[in-house]
Amino acid sequence: MSKIRVRFAPSPTGFVHVGGLRTALYNYLFAKKRGGTFILRIEDTDRSRYVEGATENLIAVLNWAGLVPDEGPEQGGDFGPYFQSQRQNIYRDYARELINGGRAYYAFDTPEEIEEMRRRAPKSEAPPKYDASLRMQMRNSLSLSPGESAELLEAGAPYVIRLLIPEDRTFTFNDIIRGQVSFHSRQIDDQVLIKSDGYPTYHLANVVDDHLMQISHVIRGEEWLSSVPKHVYLYECFGWKMPDLAHLPLIFNPDGTKMSKRNIQSLDELPSGKVDPDVQTYIDSGYEKEAILNYIAFLGWNPGDDRDVFTLRALQNIFSLERVNKSAAIFDLQKLNYLNQEHLHRMETDVLAEELKTEMQKAGIHYDADAYFKAVVDLLKSRLHFRKEFVEYSTYFFKEPESYDPQVVKKRWKGDSAKLLFEFIDEISKLDRFDAGSIEKCVRQIADRHEIGSGRIIHPVRLAVSGIGVGPGLFEMLQILGREKVTKRVKNAIEMIPARQQ
RNA sequence: GGCGCGUUCGUCUAGUGGUUUAGGACGCUGGCCUCUCACGCCGGUAGCACGGGUUCGAAUCCCGUACGCGCUGCCA
């Protein structure tokens, strides 16, 4: 079996689309699973749509995701350059070869003339194509005499090179995902191969580059399916072997429309039925990298069993194109959220703690010791949906409460709370070991003594040490805080709270 | 309009002629756990687009219809 070589070939026209990231991911997974090469090729042949910084941004997102190319603009390789804009002369040579072989021709029609040709058609009908039925009425090296054409070329008249699509041919090809697909040449127009600005169109460039770069499998979005016959014909003209094809299903908004960046400010205020196609938005919103990758991998693919949480490494081992679906998928934020939480909960505490330090520093919060910090992370981990929540959830572990939630005071702070809490700090002062088990025993004993529910102590203590009414299990929380802090905070609260009540 | 591709719970999907009273996950929902909020656990909800064939038997094969999407550019 020949070497697996796949490419992700985006055009730098803006932000990185969720669908684009998935295409990159599938290419990457396919290559890695089979010991192949993952190539990044920048398809920047449309100067009018070129966006400054888009390439850098694209590479940054790919690196962020861990989908690092084996060959590409950054890492180089034996098949460069990896920018199509730097390969112009290559395409030009191949286009000439086509013309010399009678497979392509020069066309001198101006954009206005083509526009006019299309406008001439009755409104009820479909716009005509530049094809066998029309080309002899246009201005090109087929309709003009050889002398006229040569004259125009010599005079430097603007021209494009068009592919001469044969009449009455059926192009059939096999797609790994869709099976056999065929098109009749009647449906295909004489595709422009070289534009008047000298740059190639996608169709020529991708065929030439895929061949020259020895691409074994083309994995891309379904929007390309309809232009495959043109590519099939080009491969035939050049006498090249075509790579295997896999056309991926599209990804849509919840309302079934195409994902668009229009009218989207943030994930918190999405227009009804819409979702943000910009990968950067999810990164900025604090989604776990692994969760994003896991989620988009499952948009159109599944491992065939019940498992649904995978790291990039794990996906590498089980991915296969054969298990990619045919039908389009809808992007669902809730499932992403679920996976985000799953990945967070499955992280090793040590690793998470290390990464959370950055979040803490950003928030300007300082902590005492590594062991203490890790203990807090361990305790709070299972309550996290997003890692950024940690800062908020853990504040009272790093500084004393400055106020007490009035709602909770009203609900939990009873007339005897102060008295019970005095008793509580007195009891815990006698404890040999200040651990969750001992603290709990202590609380239960006080409650029994007064014949009240232990909640009558638990809730006020929580309020006293944290200032709020929600949080992790109280006893574990107190153990981590330590006897000294707990005693101090409870005393503070006893002083503060009744004063506020009056 | 033409051509192409697609259609299993609200969503992601399993399913490749009998193992299926169509399975899982998210969501929603009932409960358990419990000191709160989460987590976790147990349960429920809901689907083969429609119509014809083929077959002893079809979600699975064929045809048609409907609907959706893609392409129909000197965009990719």
- Using CA atoms, how far apart are residues A341 and A357, in angstroms rounded to an integer? 19
What are the residues whose beta carbons fall under 8 Å from the beta carbon of A163, sequence distance 6 or more? A98, A103, A104, A190, A191, A192, A193, A203, A230, A233, A234
The C1' atom of B30 and the CA atom of A334 lie apart, in whole Å, by 21
Tell me if A239 sits within 8 A of A252, measured CB to CB: no
CA of A381: nucleotide with nearest C1': B39
Q: Three-state DSSP class for A431?
A: coil
Instruction: Give A87-248's CATH code, choosing from 3.40.50.740, 1.10.150.530, 3.30.9.10, 3.90.800.10.
Output: 3.90.800.10
Nucleotides on chain B that have an atom closer than 7 A to a protein CB are 1-8, 10-15, 24-27, 35-40, 68-76
Q: Which residue is nearest to nucleotide B68 (CA to C1')?
A: A256
Identify the CATH assignment for A1-73+249-346 out of 3.40.50.620, 3.40.50.720, 3.50.50.60, 3.30.300.30.
3.40.50.620
Taking the CA of residue A309 and the C1' sugar atom of nucleotide B26, their distance in angstroms comes to 12
Q: What is the nearest nucleotide to A198, using C1' and CA?
A: B74
Protein A310 CA to nucleic acid B42 C1', in Å?
25
Which is catalytic among the residues A3, A241, A261, A411? Answer: A261
How many Å apart are CA A447 and CA A424, to the nearest integer?
A: 10
Fold of A350-501: Arc Repressor Mutant, subunit A (1.10.10)
What is the nearest nucleotide to A129, using C1' and CA?
A: B72
Determine whether A411 is an active site residue.
no
Angle between the A483-501 and A474-481 helix axes, to the nearest 10 degrees?
110
Q: Where in chain A is the domain with CATH 3.90.800.10?
A: 87-248
Residues of chain A with CATH 3.40.50.620: 1-73+249-346
Q: Which residue is nearest to nucleotide B4 (CA to C1')?
A: A226
| DSSP secondary structure letters along A220-235 | EEGGGGGGHHHHHHHH
Q: How far is the CA of A387 from the C1' of B13 (A)?
A: 28
β-bridge pairing A329-330 and A160-163: unpaired
Pairing of strands A329-330, A251-252: parallel
* Separation in Å: B14 C1' and A302 CA: 9
- CATH 1.10.10.350 residue ranges for chain A: 350-501
Q: How confident is the prediction along chain A (502 residues), in pLDDT tens digits per residue? A: 579 999 999 999 999 999 999 999 999 999 999 999 999 999 999 999 999 999 999 999 999 999 999 999 999 999 989 999 999 999 999 999 999 999 999 999 999 999 888 888 777 677 889 999 999 999 999 999 999 999 999 999 999 999 999 999 999 999 999 999 999 999 999 999 999 999 999 999 999 999 999 999 999 999 999 999 999 999 999 999 999 999 999 999 999 899 988 888 888 888 888 999 999 999 999 999 999 999 999 999 999 999 999 999 999 999 999 999 999 999 999 999 999 999 999 999 999 999 998 888 888 887 766 899 999 999 999 999 999 999 999 999 998 999 999 899 988 988 888 899 999 999 999 999 999 999 999 999 999 999 889 999 999 999 999 999 999 999 999 999 999 999 999 999 998 887 544 4
